[in-house]
Amino acid sequence: MTPEDISSYVNNLRARKSEIECSLADPAVFGKPAELRGLSQELRKLEHLFDRFDEWVKDLHDIADNRELMASESDAELRELAEADIATLEKRAAELEGAIQISLLPPEPNDSKNIIVEIKPAAGGDEAALFAGEMFRAYLHFAEKEGWKVEILDSSETDLGGVKDVSFSLSGEDVYSLMKYESGVHRVQRVPETEAGGRIHTSTITVAVMPEAEEVELNIRPEDLRFDVFRSSGPGGQCVNTTDSAVRVTHIPTGMSVASQQEKSQHRNKEIALRILYARLLEIEQRAEADKLAADKRSQVGTGDRSERIRTYNFPQNRVTDHRFNVSSFDLPKIMEGDMRLILDQILMIVCERRLDQLRQG
């Protein structure tokens, strides 16, 4: 995309910003939470885009001014300063241009949605459970860095401090558009602390990233759901263990069921179980739609299926590799501390380039 193309696209979007502001000024929109959230997020994205665009344009002008100075100035010291400024400005302008091109891509249907994430150990026993717990904490740190809100929906730990399974929601800007690349099988290669012989073990966990569903999206009838209550087990105190506070909800047409006993309140557990169930049903529905696409289009970004091995965390080599996009980061500790953008920014640039190529080809 040329600078002229970028300027044309951005200027065309200024009218859209005015439309959104008019829509948000209409009191009727406050009765439509999903639409309100979508419009608010779109407005924030446009405002960020225009800020970046203005910075980019200024940098391009400053680069041109410095080049004129170099062409007309005889003082060697001033020419050297101008040359140094050009190098700094060109680097920043290139970064801004990449960010602008990503922002100009048409949003995908789920990009404005909040998400539910489920993490479970797969192969590897206790070591897989420990790694599941570490990835959970990494995502919590990542959410904090991005300014997202976290809500723990359900969790179960092992005796060694690992995670049997955990479900949590993330809400905020760009949640789905970033976290969708985490869905799949994550493989870890390292020497477990319990391994006396120093042998490297390979374990896996599954991460499912599901957009939160609005009830109206799924067209579920009341008679399609069955609710069962039972006594909670495990930690939680006397109140939890002696009252029927746990809730299991079953979607009768599919047989899918979700149980929640995280909270002491039956009402709260029912709400959590429904949120997880709706997200799973929406995932199934959207997966069926995605399967109708041509295989070559799906392969460009990966299916996002939780059975697809997407990434390897090699501790001895300090390397994280994403197999779908053939990108790596050699700063594994930072990624485990929540600096997910070390790998995600590389993925976003590749996806951006591929989608731009598709748009150019019609």
Q: Tens digit of pLDDT for each residue in 185-224?
A: 999 999 887 666 678 889 999 999 998 887 656 778 888 8
The mean per-residue pLDDT over the stretch 305-325 comes to 87
302 plus 325 within the same structural domain = yes
**Contact call for residues 200 and 215 (beta carbons, < 8 A):** no
Query: Which residues, in sequence order, are bridge partners of residue 169?
Result: 116, 151
**Which H or E element spans position 32?**
none
Distances from the Cα of 302 to the Cαs of 14, 104, 320, in angstroms?
Answer: 33, 22, 17
Residue among 154, 184, 182, 158 at smallest CA distance from 166: 154
342 plus 202 within the same structural domain = yes
Q: Are strands 163-171 and 201-211 parallel, antiparallel or unpaired?
A: unpaired
- The SS3 of residue 267 is helix
State which of 52, 79, 104 marks the end of a domain.
104
319 plus 352 within the same structural domain = yes
| 299: confidence class by pLDDT, cuts 50, 70, 90 | very low
CATH number at residue 15: 1.20.58
Asked if the model's pLDDT at residue 302 lies above 70, the reply is no
What pLDDT is recorded for position 20?
92
CATH number at residue 226: 3.30.160.20
| 295: confidence class by pLDDT, cuts 50, 70, 90 | very low
Rounded to whole angstroms, how far apart are CA atoms 265 and 31? 28
Asked if the model's pLDDT at residue 360 lies above 50, the reply is yes
324 plus 208 within the same structural domain = yes
143 plus 255 within the same structural domain = no
How many domains are there within the chain?
3
43 plus 190 within the same structural domain = no
15 plus 155 within the same structural domain = no
Percent of the chain with pLDDT over 70: 88
Is 177 a domain residue? yes
What pLDDT is recorded for position 300?
37
Residue among 115, 233, 274 at smallest CA distance from 181: 115
Please provide the size of the chain in residues: 362
Asked if the model's pLDDT at residue 243 lies above 80, the reply is no
Q: Return the minimum-mean-pLDDT range out of 67-76, 78-87, 341-350.
A: 67-76
252 plus 203 within the same structural domain = no
172 plus 317 within the same structural domain = yes
**Contact call for residues 174 and 114 (beta carbons, < 8 A):** no
Q: Return the minimum-mean-pLDDT range out of 56-70, 194-208, 251-265.
A: 194-208
What does the block give as tokens for 302?
């990966």
Alpha helix ranges (H) inside the chain: 3-24, 33-72, 76-104, 125-146, 175-179, 215-218, 238-242, 266-290, 295-301, 332-336, 341-360
188 plus 224 within the same structural domain = no
Is 110 a domain residue? no
162 plus 244 within the same structural domain = no
Placement of tokens 């760009």 in the chain? 174
State which of 257, 289, 321 marks the end of a domain.
289
- The SS3 of residue 5 is helix
Distances from the Cα of 156 to the Cαs of 118, 121, 140, 141, 242, in angstroms?
Answer: 12, 11, 16, 19, 19
Residue among 139, 168, 175, 171 at smallest CA distance from 151: 168
What pLDDT is recorded for position 351?
87
What pLDDT is recorded for position 339?
96
Is 187 a domain residue? yes
Asked if the model's pLDDT at residue 292 lies above 80, the reply is no
87-138, pLDDT tens digit by residue?
999 999 988 988 888 788 777 778 778 899 999 999 888 899 999 999 999 9
Residue among 350, 334, 353 at smallest CA distance from 342: 334
Domain span holding position 188:
115-212+293-360
What pLDDT is recorded for position 162?
87
User: What pTM did the predictor assign?
Assistant: 0.74
233 plus 280 within the same structural domain = yes
What pLDDT is recorded for position 304?
43
What pLDDT is recorded for position 290?
67
Q: Which of the pair, 167 or 352, is modelled with greater confidence?
A: 167
